[in-house]
Amino acid sequence: MAESVALDQPLDESTARKGRSPGQDAWREFRRNRIGVAGLIFIIFIILVAIFAPLMSPYGYATQNNLNSRAKPMTAYTITTDYLPNCHWAGTPLEWGCTIFFTGSDALGRDLWSRTVYGTRVSISIALVASTVSLLIGSIYGTVSGYAGGRIDNFMMRIVDFLYAVPILPLIILMQVYFKALARQGVREGLTGAIIELNQQMGGMLFLFIALGALNWIGMSRMARGQVLSYKNKEFIEAAHMIGASNSRIIFRHLMPNILGPLLIAETLAIPGYIFTEAVLSFIGLGVNPPTPSWGQMISEGYQGLRSNPHLVLVPGAALTILTLAFNFMGDGLRDAFDPKLRGRK
Amino acid sequence: MTKYIIRRILLSIPVLIAISLATFLMIQALPGGPFDVVGTKAMPEQMRQLLERRYGLDRPLYEQYFLYIGNLLQGELGPMLRFRGQDVNDIVAQSLPVSMQLGMLSISLGFLIGIPAGIIAALKHNTAIDHAATFIAVLGVSIPNLVLGPLLILIFGVYLDWFPIAFWGADPPFILGIFPKPTAQFWLHAVMPTFALGTGISASVARLTRAGLLDVLSADYIRTARAKGLRERVVIVVHALKNSLIPVATILGPLLAALLTGTFVIEQIFALNGLGRYFVNSVNQREYFLLTSITLVYGLFLIVGNLFVDIMYAWLDPRIRYD
């Protein structure tokens, strides 16, 4: 690997070998992992689908067509005259797209394709927001705990130990029931009212963010603490102390950049869990508010009529599986790329 | 070690108390109560007050809590508020064994498939077998049991008609209160739920076993063992395997938590009367005592499970000492 520079040549900026950061190294390694890159590309594609969902779906996710309930895939759509004006793709009238159900329709005559496309919005938002929230809380909590050490560390870690024994899902369920009951009561004034209003506009996702993010940072905080402990007594931290850097500066400028890599990877690998928990909550009727489509909810609506209309389960189920698969591929790729032990082993 | 286990058990008592307090308060904070409706109509105010007095729900909150804890210490989990004639003890005694049987079968399946598959993949490293096993494992990790359950029902229940699509094949009373009578009907009913829940477990176990074994196989002591002229089987089984299972033991903790989530879904899909199904179905009826008790049972299960994982860990890796 060593690049030899002829000794008689004067060394200048251009011939000196540029250093590469560990991040760049990892990125080069990651790019060589074809499956991981495919996962990343697919996730970016799905994010675009979520953003441009109206362009990708011929109907609205809540548009009902009572003439065509439980239509099989690739069957004709009976166009009602009052719906004809809605049938366009970014302004261009769209005859063909509005005459066929690509993947059929559900019990209420809503186009399954459109609902699946809109369903990406819930899953992707949960994946991004819940992981960010749990990464933020977890890494800050763990870093502070590990950095402070002594009694504070002991106390903070006892709390984490306690949370480890708490069954999370029943608590999330209870929280969701509580939030939903609050929303039904219709509190209008004050901070609670504002939050409930925002949640209604987001189709019930805000409460999911809170419930998922608030309870999933525990593992992250333990990992962050472990990382901090391994860096805390290194020379560069001591040097920062010597020149009088404040604690918060040391934590955020010196420690955080060093420990963030492994945490990010762990968080990526945790994302399928969030998507899955959301699907489970929607499945048992405690997720997003109808008619906002969520894949878990679509599966729960569909599996009642599994025998006669399997596509109602298979389509959202396939979407859920493929997205999870993409996140797992990407997470595995990132983990391998950041692990120097695995370099050059292939 | 014994000292450590005793200390852990003692430490778990305040944790359980805290869980019970948190759940109790949270459930009480839920708007609405168990006696809001009778049939489809609103319950008359007077009737509601009478019922609340009957179950002690009109007392101050702290008094109710201490009463609950007091009953708990005597082994009484409390009354059912909507299904009269049964109490929470009955419900837990019926449904806990079902959930436990499902969980145990799934974990066993996970290890029975996962460990051999991981070993084979590691031994055939970078061959077609390895790639196929790795790919199937990622697929198995990625397919949520929410999807796998209906898929299995569709293929093996509806189209092929091999297995029954719903219900658990064993009814209470169970042998020793836990074990089912191993009838043919039980196994037939158990196949699909077990696979729906166990596939993900076996996939992650296989992945970890493979990674762990690959790591260990490049260690110096394995080279030494081979250099001594030991047979390959002895090298793998006696020298490598135990160490390579350490990473597998680390995920047992999260696995237990995932298993809880899994039973919630699988019980719902296959209509099994387990704890999770009772929990979900009684949330909206505000069965205060049942909800608190089920959460406590889960908490106890997690504590015992994590303790078991720590003990396994010390057994697999004698360098680990808990003192």
For A205-220, what is each residue's pLDDT tens digit?
888 888 887 778 888 8
A5, part of any domain: no
Residue A41 has pLDDT above 90, yes or no: yes
pLDDT on residue B230 = 85
Contact B265/A at CB under 8 A: yes
Flag if A324 and B143 touch (Cβ within 8 Å): yes
Q: Are A325 and B18 within 8 A, CB to CB?
A: no
In a domain, A91, yes or no: no
Size of interface A-B (CB pairs under 8 A): 128
For chain A, the average pLDDT equals: 80
Question: CA-CA distance, B91 to B77, in Å (whole number)?
Answer: 10
Whether A285 is covered by a domain: the verdict is: yes
- Percent of chain A past pLDDT 70, that is, above it, reads 82
Mean pLDDT of B104-132: 90
CB distance A166–B284 less than 8 Å? no
Flag whether residue B139 sits within 8 Å of chain A, measured between CB atoms.
yes
Chain A contact for B33 (CB, 8 A cutoff)? no
B131, B112, B295: which is closest to B198 by C-alpha?
Answer: B112
Give the pLDDT band of residue A318 (cuts 50, 70, 90): very high
pTM surpassing 0.80?
A: yes
Note the pLDDT of residue A30: 81
Q: Range of A127's domain?
A: 34-57+111-342
Whether the per-residue pLDDT at A42 is higher than 90: the answer is yes
Which residue among B150, B257, B299 sits closest to A306, beta carbon to beta carbon? B150
B22 neighbourhood in chain A, CB within 8 Å? 166, 171
Distance from CA of B8 to the nearest CA of A (A): 11
| Cα–Cα dist A330/A268, whole Å | 8
Q: Which residue of B has its CA nearest to A281?
A: B265
Residue A101 has pLDDT above 80, yes or no: no
B30: Cα separation from own chain's centroid: 26
**Element (H or E) spanning A16, and its range?**
none
Helix/strand/coil percent split, chain B, to 5: 70, 0, 25
Helix (H, G, I), strand (E, B) or coil at A342: helix
CB pair distance less than 8 Å for A169 and B260: yes
Q: Report residue A79's pLDDT band, with 50, 70 and 90 as the boundaries.
A: low
Q: Does A27 reside within a domain?
A: no
- In which band, very low, low, confident or very high, does the pLDDT at A12 lie, cut at 50, 70 and 90? low
Q: Is the pLDDT of residue B189 over 80?
A: yes
- Interchain contact, B147 vs A317, CB within 8 Å: yes
Mean pLDDT of chain B: 85
Nearest to B150 among A185, A299, A325 (CB): A299
Residue position matching structure tokens 């609506």? A301
- Cβ distance A178 to B23 less than 8 Å, yes or no, reads no
Cβ separation of B158 and A307 shorter than 8 Å? yes
Residue A308: is its pLDDT beyond 90? no
Is the pLDDT at B149 greater than 80, yes or no? yes
pLDDT at A346 (0 to 100): 42
**Chain B residues in contact with A324 (beta carbon < 8 A):** 142-144
Read off the pLDDT of each residue in B232-260 and give the average, rounded to a whole number: 82
* pLDDT classification of A81: cutoffs 50, 70, 90: low
Kindly state the percentage of chain A with pLDDT values over 90: 8
Residue A43's pLDDT is what?
93
Q: Which of A68-72, B271-275, B312-316 has the lowest mean pLDDT?
A: A68-72
pLDDT at B148 over 80: yes
Number of domains observed in the structure of chain A: 1
* pLDDT value of position A83: 60
Q: Which residues contact B145 (CB under 8 A, 6 or more apart)?
A: B196, B197, B199, B200, B262, B265, B266
- Name the nearest CA neighbour of A311 among A55, A115, A44, A141: A115
| pLDDT at site B193 | 93
Query: Is residue A329 in some structural domain?
Result: yes
Within an 8 Å CB–CB cutoff, is residue A187 touching chain B? no
CA angle B288/A298/A109 to nearest 5° reads: 125
Q: Sorting pLDDT into bands at 50, 70 and 90, what band is B311? A: confident
The verdict on residue A206 lying in a domain is yes
Angle, CA of A278, A284 and A287, to the nearest 5°: 40
Within a 10 A sphere around the Cβ of B50, how many other Cβ atoms?
12
The CATH number for A268's domain is 1.10.3720.10
Question: Is residue A79 included in any domain, yes or no?
Answer: no
pLDDT score for A2: 46
Q: Does A303 touch chain B (CB under 8 A)?
A: yes
Whether the CB-CB separation of A217 and A169 falls below 8 Å is answered with no
CATH fold of B90-272 reads: MetI-like fold (1.10.3720)
Q: In the prediction, which pLDDT does B134 show?
A: 86
Which whole number is the average pLDDT over A320-335?
90
Place of tokens 């049972």: B297
B295–chain A Cβ distance below 8 A for any pair: yes
Strand ranges, E, within chain B: 37-38, 41-42
State which residue of chain A sits closest to B306, comparing Cα positions: A165
Question: Strands B37-38, A100-101: parallel, antiparallel or unpaired by DSSP?
Answer: unpaired
Mutate to test the interface with B, among A196, A212, A321, A343 (most CBs of B within 10 A): A321
Quick check: is A47 in a domain? yes
ipTM: 0.85
pLDDT confidence tier of residue A345, bands split at 50, 70 and 90? very low
At residue B311, the 3 state secondary structure works out as helix
How crowded is the C-beta side of A201, counted as CA atoms within 13 Å?
Answer: 6
Instruction: Give DSSP secondary structure letters for A142-158.
Output: HHHHHHH-HHHHHHHHH
Contact A129, A211 (CB under 8 A): no
Q: How far apart are CA A150 and CA A228, in angstroms?
A: 14
Q: What's the Cα-to-Cα distance from B105 to each of A250, B32, B110, B144, B312, rounded to whole Å?
A: 50, 39, 8, 18, 19
Question: Which residues in chain A have Cβ-Cβ distances shorter than 8 Å to B298?
Answer: 167, 170
- Give B139's contacts in chain A (Cβ within 8 Å): 325
List, as ranges, residues 154-173 from A with C-beta within 8 Å of B: 161-162, 164-171, 173
Compare CB distances from B29 to A178, A299, A313 and report the shortest one's residue.
Answer: A178
Q: What 3-state class would DSSP assign to B179? A: strand
Strands B41-42 and A75-76: unpaired
